[in-house]
Chains A and B, each alone.
Chain A
Amino acid sequence: MSELDYLKRLHSAGRLSRRDLIGRALAVGATAPMLSGLLASADALAATEQGKPGGTLRLGLGGGSTTDSLNPLAANDSVMIDVLFGIFNGLVENAPDNRPVPELAEKFEPKPGAAEWIFTLRKGIQFHNGKEFDADDAVYSLNLHRGDTKSGAAGPMKAISDVKKLDKYQIQVTLAAGDADFPTILTDYHVMMVPNGFTDWAKPVGTGAFTLEAFDPGVRIALKKPGKYWKPDRGYVDTVEYNVINDTSARMNALISGQVDVINRADPKTVSRIEKSPTLEIVRAAGGWYPVMAMMVDRDPYTSLDLRQALKYAVDREQMIKTLFSGYGTLGNDHPIPRSDPYFNSELAQLKYDPEKAKFHFKKAGISDPKIVLQTSDAAFNGAVDMATLLQATAGKDDIPIQVKKESADGYFDNVWLKGSFVASYWGGRPAATQMLSIAYKSGAPWNESHWNNEKFDKLLADAQAETDEAKRKNSIWAMQELLRDEGGTLIPCFRDWLDAHSKKVGGHTPHSGFDMDNGRIAEKAFLKG
């Protein structure tokens, strides 16, 4: 499904006005004749694309393990994310265009300075055990991720200094410093709303469309719909079956031979098999997931700006997208903000592969024996070794000698990432630009993999977070992207698209820049056409 298809669907679902549809279609490069066709087909779609209730949705998913648990605090990959979004809801949902929209909180507003936030909760929503969702549950659920916790969201949630109940349906969250993007942190898949005091994760109780039917981690998980769902336009199917299929080829084959209806992480190399099929289609979304090769700017030889620039020019970005992701990606400009983000700096010139400039800067750096060792492993992401090998080849063994070192797959994130001076890894992207920039680039941040330490940058970041004026925020965020492109230590050659695929009898499965499978919400959003 293309961007245009997606816009069409948004419009027909009533979530995009006709004017917005035209505006955004033009923005993604639609021409006038395309537009009129688009509008006509959008109207036709609005008539047919209605969610039909009933049936069993069979998912074939990579990203599951026999060690998976139903505790949202420990979720870390597709299968459990998709399962948890079936059982639970969050306070805030991340819309496909990366805006935070109300979910269990019907309203959220900052006080001036964006350090205090008031969340007004939806009334009359019941947990599966019959209890009504209220402020006590929300406070408990948020506090699960604060302080002494094993939550995967503990990092971003540290921004919170206090959570308190105002009345039965209202809570106040106080932050240590202003953050206009704070609600996006609550769209994190770890931050699910559970009943006050709940701990029995093996028998999860949430407010989601489904309840747990069978749980065989790493193999098969089944959810079923207990009754009416509180969201009128979600939760169509009666049962959802999650089949864990980690082998890419096996997943594709299961879809092609009809053993499952939807798969995530379609193999870009062989995706033409699906494109050729009359009964299957690809769901493609440009996203914020990116591979990165991070140089620590405070360690030799990477302290040399010229050396960093030499390597920036030595990356053949076009080729990386083509080779690593068969073209299913967008160009990166050595900063972590993807094109799909509203704060993407669209006027910043794109870095291009230029061996001459690379050689020039390398000579200028004047390091006789630089010993550039790029540490990598397919444990970082599938293709990390190829990425390093490509850089090695385009840098030229005689021009800029790079040694690629394949590290032990086991414990890669313990022993290599954040330890080595030049290391390949990846980021899943974050819903808010400021969030991504502060996690990985703020000086002293624990995951600042390039040891980026720049006063000007830190100032811009603080300004952007506390600022609620859109134009001023944009200026700061744009300036940070430029700084990183010119001087930063992270080589970010591209952003990878999310590639799902499904049988055409599945509807409601839309592309989402956040994560695969409709940002994990496939269970409540998809339906089976008659």
Chain B
Amino acid sequence: MRLFGYKLNITATIGLAIIVLNIAAAVLAPLIAPHGQADIVGDAWADPSSQFWLGLDNLGRDIVSRLLYGARLSIGLSALITVLAFFIGIVCGFTAAAVGGWVDMLLSRVVDLLLSMPILISAFMVLSVLGTDLPVLVVTIALLNATLVFRLARAVAMNIAALEFVEAAKVRGEGLWWIISREILPNAVPPLVAEFGLRFCFTFLLIAALSFLGLGIQPPLADWGSMVKDYRDMINLDSPAPLYPAGAIALLTIGVNFVVDWMLSIHSKGHGEGA
């Protein structure tokens, strides 16, 4: 199998299959879920049966259906948030590294400031100023993540910006955008892609944590992170319930990172051959 003209290895194929499967589940959830995500169909924590394959949850809702609907919300939100965070983080980080001087200093200090604020205080501040709607959740987490992306992007770009070919481009009088997109970005891809794979997965959990404070997701909507949270005590009764959403997150994380690893490997080969 090939993708973008490159041959897929076995892990990448598995990874891609996992991602496609998850996206399919998310898109088709209303069609394939046996029950609604909010429907109470039996007693809380009922055991798995032929009708409810994974049993029922803390309120008596079908876990399979909630996993499928949860895929929708969790994957959609995480993807949106992570992309937004990377866009902001990379643009600012590269600009800081490429321009340097007071721009770098200002951006870096602002990010330090944001990072140094305990997340609880930041979250409560946002809540009290902006309210608890879903868009607020997206922007909040994206910004929180963007600060981390910024630091990494800047560190990577600083390394590259000091290289001869960037210096040469500057001397040639190339514009900032040209330098960023043609010189820095291609060389900064690997650590950033690796970061993306991880950040995407952390976002699931951060959504659940902030949702607990009242931000964003409103009941009865399902999201995987909150499902782990709601089911966690059941591990002490040897019930596998919390393992399903946790497993779903883990599987998707592994899938995404398999693909990320494959991209890293073509990158290193691509360069090796091209250089």
Contact = CB atoms under 8 A, between A and B. Distances in A.
Contacts of B213: 408-410
B232 A323 contact: no
A390 B233 contact: no
Interface string A373-408: 000011100000110111011100100000011111
Contact of B59 (A326, A386, A410): A386
Nearest to A388: B219
A2 interface: no
Interface range on chain A (Cβ under 8 Å from partner) = 20 to 34
Contact of A386 (B58, B132, B233, B237): B58
Contacts of A319: 40, 60
Interface in A27-79: none
Interface in B214-243: 214-215, 217-220, 232-234, 236-237
A394 B220 CA distance: 12
A224 to B, nearest CB: 34
Nearest to B38: A393
Given A270-B234, A410-B213, A405 B218 contact: yes
A406 B59 contact: no
A385 B128 contact: no
A270 B132 contact: no
A270 B237 contact: yes
Nearest to A407: B214
A385 B58 CA distance: 12
B218 A393 contact: no
A389 B43 contact: no
Interface residues of B, number: 27
A408 B124 contact: yes
A491 B252 CA distance: 42
B44 interface: yes
B236 A252 contact: yes
Contacts of B39: 393
Nearest to B41: A393
Contacts of A269: 45, 58, 233-234, 237
B127 interface: yes
A392 B38 contact: yes
Contacts of B132: 405-408
A406 B39 CA distance: 19
A389 B219 CA distance: 6
A249 B58 contact: no
Interface in A336-372: none
Given A389-B59, A409-B214, A410-B127, A323 B237 contact: no
B212 interface: yes
Interface in A207-221: none
A392 B219 contact: yes
Given A322-B44, A385-B219, A386-B58, A406 B237 contact: no
B43 A322 contact: yes
B206 to A, nearest CB: 16
Contacts of B44: 322-323, 326
B124 A323 contact: no
Given A397-B38, A404-B220, A267 B214 contact: no
Contacts of B38: 389, 392-393, 397
A252 B232 CA distance: 14
Nearest to A404: B219
B152 to A, nearest CB: 31
Contacts of B59: 323, 386, 389-390, 393
Contact of B40 (A272, A273, A390, A410): A390
A323 B212 contact: no
A210 to B, nearest CB: 33
Contacts of A149: none
B236 A406 contact: no
A326 B214 CA distance: 25
B117 to A, nearest CB: 15
A272 B236 CA distance: 10
A323 B60 contact: yes
B40 A393 contact: yes
Given A323-B60, A390-B59, A408 B220 contact: no
Interface in A158-189: none
Interface in B102-150: 124, 127-128, 132
Contacts of A378: 212
B220 A389 contact: yes
Contacts of A253: 236
Nearest to A378: B212
B163 to A, nearest CB: 48
Given A249-B232, A272-B237, A389-B59, A406 B128 contact: no
Nearest to B238: A273
Interface in A310-348: 319, 322-323, 326
A268 to B, nearest CB: 10
Contacts of A322: 43-44
A271 to B, nearest CB: 10
Contacts of A410: 124, 127-128, 213-214
A248 interface: yes
A408 B133 CA distance: 11
B236 A249 contact: yes
26 contacts: A248-B233, A249-B232, A252-B236, A269-B58, A269-B233, A269-B234, A270-B233, A270-B234, A270-B236, A273-B236, A322-B44, A323-B43, A323-B58, A323-B59, A377-B214, A386-B59, A388-B219, A389-B38, A404-B220, A406-B132, A406-B218, A406-B219, A408-B214, A409-B213, A410-B124, A411-B128
Given A249-B232, A269-B233, 11 more contacts: A270-B237, A319-B40, A323-B44, A326-B44, A378-B212, A390-B59, A393-B39, A393-B59, A393-B220, A394-B40, A408-B128
* 4 cross-chain pairs, A with B, having the tightest CB-CB distances, nearest first: A408-B214, A389-B219, A408-B127, A323-B44
